[in-house]
Chains A and B, each alone.
Chain A
């Protein structure tokens, strides 16, 4: 296990719940860290705001800051009407952020390094956009694909491009998060593996191991940045897509 950079993504069953209507719904390490992510998020937000202090303490400030951060993001992108989606965007942001950060602990599983998880979240976003768009605007929602002021001949081409770009949204949204987390963790593991394997080659090896060690330290810092940044990007794009559902005309 030690030197295999892929094994950290291995999903293993903790409580096997196999064959529920032909599906394997076992409680795995991935499930465990999903529960942990939700528990950490919920408990942190719940406990730090329990006092409802008029003058916030440090931790309450942190909760309020994350709330206002996401709220202003959503308001800027989708206007005050977009605030109805606030619980969704806030949940997504906090879930992705905490899952990414928990994944930074050694030996912890990173929930967001599974394509199916990020894809499910992306589909949730796009599904909300499509569902709400049609519910609110009916067929006018399809105006999203027809930009104004395009010459008649170009319309089919532009519509085709718009449709393809819309369909690729869930893919780009999910692959971006998944690939960042996966690549980051693999790189980290590879460099950390270098340190171990080089240090077995005696004095020279230990001297040589310093370089990958420094690299691993630097990468760890970078990964914390990426963990936050990807959660932010995911939330920002969610806000922009939701704006399309609210205001489908370009």
Chain B
């Protein structure tokens, strides 16, 4: 409506202006009005910008900046929490591993010492048996050796009797055997 009115008016003045012949942008008769309304409208725009729009948008951007910074801080906090938790977990894990190793070592040592004790017992046992057997063998051998002397004497007596037909006393034979290095 305004526009069509303005249009109608401009058609009218165009006709008038054509008579005047002034190029409209340079027509100084309109300058006062244009300056006046420009000062009014632009003045209002400047006032409105500096009082309302700029603080408002600036505030919005600042709030957002703060919020983002806050969120980043919070994220850092959470991350450090997570890191701490991971560190604690790893420590726990290492401790558990150490404990497990210790338990294993203990069990192994215990088993080893038990086996060692068993072995020593068995060895001692065996050594005892061996010693017993050895004494028995020695006894048997001693007896056998003792018998060897009398057997030799008897044999010697018989051999001498057969060879020379003479009877030799046991005492003589014994001394002879002794000197022979029995």
Residues of A within 8 A of B (CB): 1, 4, 6-14, 23-32, 34-35, 37-38, 41-42, 45-46, 49, 52-54, 56, 60, 63-64, 67-68, 86-88, 90-91, 94-95, 107-109, 111, 113-117, 120-121, 124, 178, 182
A163 CB, nearest partner CB in chain B, Å:
26
Residues of B within 8 A of A (CB): 2-3, 5-7, 9-14, 17, 23-27, 29-42, 44-46, 48-50, 52-54, 56-61, 63-64, 67
B contact face: mostly helix, strand, loop, or mixed: helix
Q: B13 touching A10 by the CB < 8 A rule?
A: yes
Given contacts A13-B13, A182-B25, 13 further A-B contacts (CB under 8 A): A9-B24, A10-B17, A11-B24, A23-B33, A32-B6, A38-B42, A54-B67, A90-B54, A107-B3, A115-B25, A120-B34, A120-B38, A121-B42
- Sample (7) of A-B pairs whose CB atoms are under 8 Å apart: A26-B33, A31-B33, A67-B57, A86-B54, A90-B49, A90-B53, A114-B30
A contact face: mostly helix, strand, loop, or mixed: helix
A13 CB, nearest partner CB in chain B, Å:
7
Interchain pairs with CB closer than 8 A, number: 161
Rank and list the top 10 A-B pairs by shortest CB-CB distance, nearest first: A87-B50, A31-B37, A12-B9, A29-B6, A7-B14, A9-B24, A34-B41, A12-B13, A23-B32, A12-B10
Q: B49 touching A27 by the CB < 8 A rule?
A: no
Docked complex Cα distance between A35 and B49 (Å): 15
Partner of B10, one of A29, A63, A117: A29
Partner of A23, one of B25, B36, B39, B44: B36
B26 CB, nearest partner CB in chain A, Å:
7
Q: B44 touching A68 by the CB < 8 A rule?
A: no
Q: A45 touching B53 by the CB < 8 A rule?
A: yes
B17 CB, nearest partner CB in chain A, Å:
6
Known: A4-B14, A10-B10, A52-B59. A41 touches B45 (CB 8 A): yes
Known: A12-B9, A120-B38. A87 touches B49 (CB 8 A): yes
Docked complex Cα distance between A115 and B39 (Å): 15
CB-based nearest B residue for A51 = B60
Q: B25 touching A9 by the CB < 8 A rule?
A: yes
Q: B27 touching A11 by the CB < 8 A rule?
A: yes
Known: A10-B24, A63-B57. A24 touches B32 (CB 8 A): yes
Partner of B54, one of A30, A87, A107, A111: A87
Q: A107 touching B7 by the CB < 8 A rule?
A: yes
Q: A11 touching B34 by the CB < 8 A rule?
A: yes
Chain A residues with CB below 8 A from B58, complex form: 67
